[in-house]
Chain A
């Protein structure tokens, strides 16, 4: 029973593993044991359990990006590890600025060759009736612009390319 599950929560990596199933289910979280009793499914996405004697009612859902929970009036998102590494890869490549959500280009405030500073508004997009400034992630020079005013784009579309740093 050495299989462990890894989750990201609150910016940290955590490990969950089953220590034993009988006489009572004991699960280790980052090496600390917790007794889980009376696991009961209330509805399809709703269950309850006793954790160290305390009753917890949990709403649970997942999609390809994360597990979602609601417990004691608080909502939790636990992104899958492989998803996190994928997005991290995308954002650490600072030469390319991608759309984090679908939208429409409202204005373009730079052109190829423009020198920009960290935080400069490069383009303004509109998504769900809200205007959002897309700013430069670092100082640099704009190499390419893939955004035209009034054009629509999908999530992860490349919007602006910065000249690679030496």
Chain B
């Protein structure tokens, strides 16, 4: 096992990696931008090295400085987390060239899976089902012509994309060319690569993904599936495992497809193969993420594993720590992503200072976060500040548990989606398990906050007043004769 690790990330995922590394007795090295100097990941690491850049994001994307930091601190390996440089093949190459083990797959596998068109072709070639699609190779007119043949609605995506960037749904031929142009523009801006492709848009699709773990020699196991269909703007909000109402046969087929694909790529590392599942149980390869996912904790709880530890084990050339048959799904887990945003205002990101942060008292509610009370939420980073995860014997009990945990989670001073998540989790439709990626838009009205009733208004106003020092001194510290003047005197 490694003696030291540099975590090339920030926030909750940096804290998450540090936690496992510490439990394994590995020295932890954090990197940070000035804006994060007081952040939990900096405090919890054994060593913290500052990165210098004009913007915080630029700092965490500065591969040269990060590799230099790893060398100066004699880090044996580097964990990229998710986002930032985690799926950047050149970075992985540069890390390895510097004599540091990159916790991730081989650079050529990152390259292959990072390109939506190449990875789709690779999947198709290896017998994994893919949705009908057309790639744009320069000529927009012929792309539009070919794309029409697939039929509408169509989904346009950036070849180098991810996270919903450069993605749009086209409903008819009239807007196809314009939306294709917009998508190319967005693709160019975000990924410096304007290639796009169009594929058949499956109505009411579910997003099912499979957690895999490979040793780089062709041995791959899966750790079952996660359902990530509750999304807003193509971004996951609530994830769960196992996927509700998935037949055992279908689960096996999807997991087998994920394992096959990863074996063919001689995949090394923990990875995720994402699929779209249609209402009539057809599934199609979507993409493979060659890193640890945000939602990895639900798999950890259901399968009783530590995926960060598993990543370190396979990266240090050891065998996969488990046999496929020893991996069992036990109970049910749900994760809610806690974001600083305004759900009632089109999910607009919110900024400010976290004045109060209180986490649920239940021992088995896991709160993975990278923020603490007093921290500034700046527009420099993603709006996700933490994840609330609960595990129980079955889905109903897990919903009950996470409802309570959400009620107990307090984040004041910056708008958050905590109440919104509570309304989703409490909704009958979520409980019924009939979910698909359009769930939040389809149920937009029902998921709006209910009007405040008289008692709530009264309680809030009393509480607002009594929290104020000067109001309290009037209420409790007033001298006796004066204080008792009311409608009547108690003499």
Given A22-B490, A23-B490 in contact, is the A103-B379 Cβ separation under 8 Å?
yes
Q: Are the C-beta atoms of A76 and B460 separated by less than 8 Å?
A: yes
Given A21-B475, A27-B465, A61-B355 in contact, is the A70-B412 Cβ separation under 8 Å?
yes
B233 within 8 Å of A (CB atoms): yes
A77 within 8 Å of B (CB atoms): yes
B residues in contact with A61, CB < 8 Å: 355-356, 412-413
A residues in contact with B457, CB < 8 Å: 9-10, 14, 29
A residues in contact with B468, CB < 8 Å: 5, 62, 67
Q: Are the C-beta atoms of A63 and B352 separated by less than 8 Å?
A: yes
Q: Are the C-beta atoms of A128 and B486 separated by less than 8 Å?
A: no
What is the total number of residues of chain A having a CB less than 8 Å from a CB of chain B? 58
- Which among A39, A78, A102, A152 is the interface contact of B466 at CB below 8 angstroms? A39
Q: Are the C-beta atoms of B419 and A73 separated by less than 8 Å?
A: yes
A138 within 8 Å of B (CB atoms): no
- Which among A16, A21, A155 is the interface contact of B462 at CB below 8 angstroms? A16
- Which among B351, B406, B416, B467 is the interface contact of A73 at CB below 8 angstroms? B406
B52 within 8 Å of A (CB atoms): no
Measured CA separation A59–B415 after assembly (Å): 15
Contact with B along A57-70 (1 / 0, CB 8 A): 01111110001111
The chain A residue sitting closest to B233, CB to CB, is A130
A residues in contact with B358, CB < 8 Å: 46, 59
B410 within 8 Å of A (CB atoms): yes
A110 within 8 Å of B (CB atoms): no
Measured CA separation A79–B162 after assembly (Å): 37
A residues in contact with B464, CB < 8 Å: 7, 9, 16, 60, 67, 69, 76, 78
Contact with A along B449-476 (1 / 0, CB 8 A): 1011000111111111111100100111
A residues in contact with B163, CB < 8 Å: 129
B370 within 8 Å of A (CB atoms): no
Q: Are the C-beta atoms of B463 and A20 separated by less than 8 Å?
A: no
B residues in contact with A59, CB < 8 Å: 356, 358, 410, 412
The chain A residue sitting closest to B458, CB to CB, is A29
A residues in contact with B432, CB < 8 Å: none
A residues in contact with B458, CB < 8 Å: 29, 32, 34, 51
B residues in contact with A22, CB < 8 Å: 480, 483-484, 486, 490
Q: Are the C-beta atoms of A9 and B379 separated by less than 8 Å?
A: no
A132 within 8 Å of B (CB atoms): yes
Given A16-B462, A34-B462, A56-B463 in contact, is the A102-B474 Cβ separation under 8 Å?
no
- Which among A49, A58, A72, A75 is the interface contact of B416 at CB below 8 angstroms? A75
Least distance between A84 CB and chain B CB atoms (Å): 14
Q: Are the C-beta atoms of B407 and A73 separated by less than 8 Å?
A: yes
B2 within 8 Å of A (CB atoms): no
Measured CA separation A75–B406 after assembly (Å): 11
B residues in contact with A26, CB < 8 Å: 486
Measured CA separation A141–B419 after assembly (Å): 40
Least distance between A82 CB and chain B CB atoms (Å): 15
The chain A residue sitting closest to B345, CB to CB, is A100
Q: Are the C-beta atoms of A101 and B355 separated by less than 8 Å?
A: no
9 A-B residue pairings within 8 Å (CB atoms): A29-B458, A29-B462, A60-B412, A62-B468, A63-B353, A67-B467, A67-B468, A130-B348, A130-B349
Residues of A near any B CB (own CB < 8 A): 1, 3, 5, 7, 9-10, 14, 16, 18-23, 25-27, 29, 32, 34, 36, 39, 45-47, 49, 51, 56, 58-63, 67-78, 100-103, 106, 127-130, 132, 152, 155
Closest A-B pairs by Cβ, 3 of them: A20-B486, A128-B349, A61-B355
